[in-house]
Structure 1
Amino acid sequence: MPYKVHGRDESSVIVVRWIEEGRWRMSDELAHNVRKYRRAAGWSHEELAHRAGLSVGPVRRIEQGHDGVRMETLHAIARALDVTTSTLMVSGTPEPVAHDNPNGMHLRDLRIALTPAVGLGSVSAPVGDEPDLVRLRRTTHDKAVLYFEDSYRSLAADLPSLIRGTNDAVAYFDDGEERVDALTVRSETLRLVGNWLVQIRQFDLAHTAIRQAIDDARTAGDDLTAASGVGAMCWLLMRTDRFDEAEEIAVASMDVVEPKIKGATANRYSTWGGLAMEAAAAAARNNRPGEAREMRKAAGTAAKAVGVSHRNVLRHWSRFGPVTAAMKELEDSMIVGDARTVVRHSGEREELQAKAWKRLGKPSSNDGNRYHLDLARAQVRTGDPSAAMEELVRLDRLAPEWFRHQSSAAITFEEVVRKRRTLTTEMREVGAHLGVFA
């Protein structure tokens, strides 16, 4: 499904298309850009490939305008050419949406609740009983639990009515503390909805939900809840490869919620540290390693201040501490293609050992699952496809709904298959769940 990505660098607006299996559809402009920077460096195809740590085939295919190159290949080429990844991606013409898009009908009720029709007539406030803000907050909490348990199907059916309920509350209470509470509850609800929509790759709807969540929290005067919404926006921007903007808004928001006094709350340190991790992730993906390192240091400082994994899922959506910071740091190594560091640190760093979690606290299931998926990718790329497959099988059993939405899981599975002569029944089941096998 095509969508627009409005990223910024010195000279261009990016309009790109994400293919489900995690690859870019190439454009003439992208081919032209890679060719232009390669020639400006005075390099042949072979020399660019060597400096990027690639075979020459992918470089030639990109310059010939072929589809199907992976994003990590573009990261590697950008690093070799000493430009940001965003610089390699320029405007192209979006392709038409497929007529058989299955999510169109499935999301109809949610779309109506999230993006109501607007006309010129006046809209009256809801009549009837006073909205129960305590019940709405409790319901949002219950749905958040389902989200973090990866129970997406159980979650989805109730979201439209929950959105309508919070909309009615905001319309009913027009001033005072109840108005603030209603805005905060709706912000929490929309943040949940936005996260779920990002997981299922409904990025435009997710942007609508998350932006409104941030606006509601700011109107309510709750900077931590607003900053938490910014963290969700950063994740969405990175999923749509708007790296410049993700880093920019994360750093700007860090300035607003910085723990400037001794004895700041764990919530503030966690929110600030979470934004630092988002900024680092965006910078690493955009070939800005120096900025990524600085942000990782900031996240590490916040993690030490927190001491153990801190969780406030409903209000600030944070589960942050030394374990989370260590897991996210290894993502950078995977992004730059340093699979050996990922494998080595997974066995050496104390924060990554399950036996240390009694003292440091566990990561969230989502962060833990993503770490193990990175580890699987690193294992297959360092010559251990069996260990990688064990990780994939475990993730498929542990979090099947989450797992089937991960394009990197399908890519890793394909890499494992290429290194195996035969496939077991268990492997074929994993492949079928990922959509690799019919």
Structure 2
Amino acid sequence: MAASLSSAVRLYHDNDYGQLARVLPGLLEYGDTVSPGLRSRILQLTGSVMVQTRQLRTARTVLERALVAAESTDEVLDAASVVVTLCWLLLVERRFQQVDELAMRWADRIEPRMSRASERELSTWGWLLLRGSAAAIRDNRPDDAGDMMRFAQAAAVAVEREPAVYQDYWTSFGPATVAMKRVENAVIDDRPDLALRLARDVPAGLRPTSDNRNRHLLDVAQAHMDLHRADPALDILLQLSREAGPWLIEQRLAKDLLARMIGKRRTLSHDMRALADLIQLEY
């Protein structure tokens, strides 16, 4: 079952939602027959898929069950990992104060000793800080967002690299991930010029997961649009349509960006029409 779960996680990060939809029911069917820790991970993956596909009410129920299962074990990092995903759901729902309280409570609970912490301890703690930073910048608290980002950066420096394996906590964490989240915060803070400068500093050759990398590219596209540069923004959307079409379809930001482009054009190019059809945007 653990091997099947790891395969399903890879499908998730490869944006293969069709195959994942065929695999998940089988995993869930046996969820009550496995250990609480494994059950928690199955439920966390299921909740992640539901957040990604905007089935938010069901996602909350599933993630709350995952947290209960994780907390019934001695694996506090499993529970903290579920909290990272639950914070993502709350961000999507724009419940920023709840994210801040939840992320900081768990970050305090698992705060590692930097000199001897494991990669997983640093990664889970760092992701909680990134969630708190994301909530703070959206809640118009840039100083708090910056403070949490600096702590996350310290954790990333200690990790040194993006892990090649991320099945245990669903995502990677390291310098590239934190650098990308700095770009996202700059975009949210309405500083597109800073966002593009920071994007140039994202470390090359590291391995953020595809969903984080894809979100980063959307942030760069938004920065270009905010600076009235539609052509490079369109190039990014076209790149994502080729490389991560199933993921792109679920992104409201992609629809918003393309709608802004279309609103400025009298006629649409073939590429723009194809992109609009892919992400199901009426024009």
Range into which the TM-score falls when normalised by the shorter chain: over 0.9
Give matches, 1:54-93, under 5 Å. Answer: none
> Per-residue CA shift, 1:6-34, capped at 9, x if unaligned?
xxxxxxxxxxxxxxxxxxxxxxxxxxxxx
Give matches, 1:275-286, under 5 Å. Answer: 275-286=128-139
1:420 paired residue among 265, 268, 271? 265
Whether the 8 Å CA contact 1:246–1:279 is kept in 2: the answer is yes
State the partner residue of 1:401.
246
Q: Provide the secondary structure at the position in 1 that maps to 2:54.
A: coil
CA distance in 2, matches of 1:419, 1:264: 51
CA distance in 2, matches of 1:367, 1:234: 15
> Per-residue CA shift, 1:369-419, capped at 9, x if unaligned?
000001111111212101100000000111010000000000001111223
1:389 paired residue among 234, 250, 259? 234
2:123 paired residue among 270, 277, 302? 270
CA 1:422–1:261 in structure 2 vs 1: closer, same or farther (change >3 Å)? Answer: closer
CA RMSD across the alignment: 1.3
Give matches, 1:180-329, under 5 Å. Answer: 182-260=35-113, 262-329=115-182
Give matches, 1:102-141, under 5 Å. Answer: 136-141=1-6
> Per-residue CA shift, 1:187-224, capped at 9, x if unaligned?
11000000000011111111111111111111111011
CA distance in 2, matches of 1:300, 1:261: 12
Q: Provide the secondary structure at the position in 1 that maps to 2:172.
A: strand
State the partner residue of 1:61.
none
CA 1:315–1:303 in structure 2 vs 1: closer, same or farther (change >3 Å)? Answer: same
What letter is aligned with 2:106?
S
State the partner residue of 2:11.
146
CA distance in 2, matches of 1:378, 1:211: 35
Whether the 8 Å CA contact 1:311–1:318 is kept in 2: the answer is no
Q: Which runs of 4+ in 1 moved over 4 A?
A: none
Whether the 8 Å CA contact 1:277–1:299 is kept in 2: the answer is yes
Unaligned runs of 5+ in 1: 1-135, 170-181
What letter is aligned with 1:165?
Y
CA distance in 1, matches of 2:254, 2:245: 12
Whether the 8 Å CA contact 1:385–1:419 is kept in 2: the answer is no
Unaligned runs of 5+ in 2: none
What letter is aligned with 1:160?
P
CA distance in 2, matches of 1:318, 1:203: 20
> Per-residue CA shift, 1:415-437, capped at 9, x if unaligned?
11223332111110101111113
CA distance in 1, matches of 2:114, 2:91: 31
* Normalised TM-score (structure 2): 0.96
> Per-residue CA shift, 1:308-349, capped at 9, x if unaligned?
1125422222300011001001111111211111122223x1
State the partner residue of 2:215.
370
Deviation at 1:244, TM superposition (A): 0.4
Whether the 8 Å CA contact 1:311–1:317 is kept in 2: the answer is no
CA distance in 2, matches of 1:386, 1:298: 36
Whether the 8 Å CA contact 1:276–1:295 is kept in 2: the answer is yes
What letter is aligned with 2:188?
I
What letter is aligned with 2:73?
A
Deviation at 1:162, TM superposition (A): 1.1
Whether the 8 Å CA contact 2:15–2:247 is kept in 1: the answer is yes
Deviation at 1:261, TM superposition (A): 5.7
CA distance in 1, matches of 2:171, 2:262: 36
State the partner residue of 2:31.
166
What letter is aligned with 1:411?
D
CA distance in 2, matches of 1:183, 1:314: 17
State the partner residue of 1:86.
none
CA distance in 2, matches of 1:261, 1:288: 27
> Per-residue CA shift, 1:56-107, capped at 9, x if unaligned?
xxxxxxxxxxxxxxxxxxxxxxxxxxxxxxxxxxxxxxxxxxxxxxxxxxxx
What letter is aligned with 1:164?
E
Aligned length: 283
CA distance in 2, matches of 1:305, 1:261: 7
CA distance in 1, matches of 2:137, 2:53: 24
**Rg bigger for which structure?**
1
Whether the 8 Å CA contact 2:162–2:174 is kept in 1: the answer is yes
Q: Provide the secondary structure at the position in 2 that maps to 1:310.
A: coil
